[in-house]
Amino acid sequence: MTELTDLTLTQALDGLRARTFSSVELTRAFLERIQQVDPLIHAFLTLTADLALQQAEAADKARAAGDDKPLLGLPLALKDVLSTQGIETTCGSRILKGYVPVFNATVVQRLYDAGMVMLGKLNMDEFAMGSSTENSAFQITRNPWDVERVPGGSSGGSAAAVSAGMALGTLGTDTGGSIRQPGALCGIAALKPSYGRCSRYGLVAFGSSLDCPGPFGRTVEDVARLLQVIAGHDPLDATSVQNPVPDYVAGLTGDVKGLRIGLPKEYFIDGMQPEVEQAVRAAVATLERLGAEVIEISLPHTDYSLPVYYLIAPAEASANLARYDGIRFGPRVEKGEMWPTYKATRRQFGEEVIRRIMLGTYALSAGYYDAYYGKAQAVRTLIKRDYDEAFKQVDVIATPTSPTTAFKIGQNTDDPLQMYLADVFTLPASLAGICGLNVPCGFDNQGLPIGLQLLGAAFTEEVVLRAGHAYEQATDWHTRRPVVRHEA
């Protein structure tokens, strides 16, 4: 018999509905798996085992009484950037150690309302700044496919937990790639929704014009089920849109006949790992065999995405992080007077966060605002227009998610620019506010997963999900599971 922790979220839901097992049995299996495997992976910052078992018991009772909420009794876990009422929320930072929110983020509340069983909070780069989860103040999460390598970031804990079978699904956030890139490096399905599709209320802010919460799952269908629950307008977030939420699961028809797929020449660059390019081109050929039409396109401003992102995101971060003053949140380093207290408290930020605050403050300062921040905003519009033009010709754009497979722990930590390059293929879509899905599409010769990125116009999640699902039906990459073992 397959282990309960090997099931997909959809299979687990079928099992609960058929009474093959209970939510308590399912939840116990996941708690046991976490106990066995997490000492090697280090994905969880907080485990809420008692809460999980209580919720599982309640879910079983509710089901027996005829309740069938969309996620009833399914064990899930959340990136520690999402506010959880009564559960510590650190954002991977010492400056929020011990902070216990008095409210739930909207996306969290929606998961609770849909019946999820809450397993705990997952590790991340401090304030979601990073591409490897090595910037967490607390621990380094390891890639389940090779524990000497990073899981990607900043939602590395969320990706590693699903990949290693420690949760049926998780939520992460994507500001410049932090859902899609760890999804690729850990070999699972991962969706960055369009900006405004899912509420940011209660998501600890990094770059407010870029931040998007979104789901990780073993399959595209699992991701669609989670998106269904968290998507939709929220009166508490003025940037969340009113657009109706389609039925994402019903949209997974397996059919891509006539779908127009754009292949942008700017995304196949020198220096990318040859196996990544081969796997992505092979994946596009598979979609073509299934009836899609492949069209070469150009997104001419792609090259500017990295500098533009590293002006805008730090500028917004420098404003958002001003609130951590030791007065309102987290631990205070008391120095008697206000300014010394403020300064000493803010020394708790890690190196990368300090770097971003300095970059952002500089870019926004009088005399430099127009030259840096203003210019970056203008070029951001050009990047968005490239996509607007492209989506007149095509329905979906196919690219690699990451230029390389998972890198070694420590490999890029002394070279911030090298680390920033990990997101070179995910940043442009973030700046344009469009949606993007990672789907596993192969392995390199070291056995590390490779990801295909499918981008869609804003609020066409159903289109990228349909394409990703059809690709999954024709391939078996998503069925491979890592064997977690400690090599050191």
Q: Among all residues, which ones are annotated catalytic?
A: 79, 154, 178
- Does residue 175 bind ligand GLN (CB under 6 A)? yes
Per CB under 6 A, does 174 bind ligand GLN? yes
Burial letters 244-260, b for 16+ CB under 10 A, else e: ebbebbeebeeebeebb
Which of these ranges, 174-182, 230-238, 299-307, 330-338, lies near ligand GLN under the rule CB under 6 A? Answer: 174-182
Block residue for tokens 């739930």: 104
Rank residues 127 and 477 by Cβ distance to ligand GLN and give the closer one.
127
Question: Does the footprint of ligand GLN cover residue 130 (CB under 6 A)?
Answer: yes
CB of 428 to ligand GLN, least distance (A): 12
Contacts of ligand GLN in 267-326 (CB under 6 A): 313
Residues in Cβ contact with 135 at an 8 Å cutoff, skipping those fewer than 6 apart = 92, 125, 126, 129, 153, 154, 350, 352, 353
Q: How far is the CB of 402 from ligand GLN (least distance, A)?
A: 11
Beta carbon nearer to ligand GLN, 121 or 469 = 121
Looking at 15, 151, 157, 177, which residue binds ligand GLN (CB under 6 A)?
177
The smaller minimum CB distance to ligand GLN, of residues 154 and 219, is found at 154
Q: Which two tokens stand for residue 136?
A: 């967490």
CA distance 316 to 360: 7
Among 72-80, 171-179, 249-257, 377-385, which window interacts with ligand GLN (CB under 6 A)? Answer: 171-179
Which amino acid is located at 182 in the chain?
A: P
Q: Which of residues 394-433 bind ligand GLN (CB under 6 A)?
A: 423
Q: Does 196 bind ligand GLN (CB under 6 A)?
A: no
Provide, rounded to whole angstroms, the least separation between the CB of residue 99 and ligand GLN: 19
- Of the pair 120, 314, the CB lying nearest ligand GLN is at 314
The site for ligand GLN, by CB under 6 A, has a size of 13
Give the helix/strand (H/E) hosting 436: strand 435-443
Would you say 175 or 401 has its CB closer to ligand GLN? 175
Choice between 115 and 176, CB closer to ligand GLN? 176
As a 3-state breakdown, the chain gives helix, strand, coil percent values, each rounded to 5, of 40, 15, 45
Minimum CB–partner distance for residue 196 and ligand GLN (Å): 16
Q: Which of 73, 92, 152, 176 binds ligand GLN (CB under 6 A)?
A: 176
- 396-432 b/e with 16+ CB inside 10 Å = b? bbbbbbbbbbbbebebbbeeeeebbbbbbbbbbbbbb
Q: Is 430 in a helix, a strand, or coil?
A: helix
Phi, psi of 408 (to 5 degrees): -70, 145
Per the structure block, which two tokens stand in for 312?
Answer: 């805008």
Tell me: does residue 27 bind ligand GLN (CB under 6 A).
Answer: no
Prior bond of 154 cis (ω within 30°): yes
Block residue for tokens 């099992």: 15
d(CA 223, CA 434): 17
For ligand GLN, the closer of residues 15 and 152 by Cβ is 152
Nearest alpha-carbon partner for 197 in 165, 226, 220, 168? 226
Beta carbon of residue 81, minimum distance to ligand GLN (angstroms, whole number): 9
Residue of the chain from 27, 104, 106, 131 that contacts ligand GLN (CB under 6 A): 131
Give the closest residue to 459 by CA, choosing from 242, 215, 177: 242
| Choices 21-29, 128-136, 163-171, 263-271; region in contact with ligand GLN by CB under 6 A | 128-136
- Give the nearest distance from C-beta 348 to ligand GLN in angstroms: 19
Buried b (16+ CB within 10 A) or exposed e, 271-284: ebbebbbebbbebb
Query: Is the CB of 128 or the CB of 137 nearer to ligand GLN?
Result: 128
Residue 134 engages ligand GLN in binding (rule: CB under 6 A): no
At its nearest, how many Å lie between ligand GLN and the CB of residue 214? Answer: 11
123 binds ligand GLN (CB under 6 A): no
C-alpha dist (Å) from residue 53 to 49, 64, 273: 6, 17, 44
> Phi/psi class of residue 42: alpha, beta or left (left: φ > 0; alpha: ψ in -120 to 50)?
left
The answer to whether residue 128 forms part of the interface with ligand GLN (CB under 6 A) is yes
Q: Which residues bind ligand GLN (CB under 6 A)?
A: 128-131, 154, 174-178, 206, 313, 423
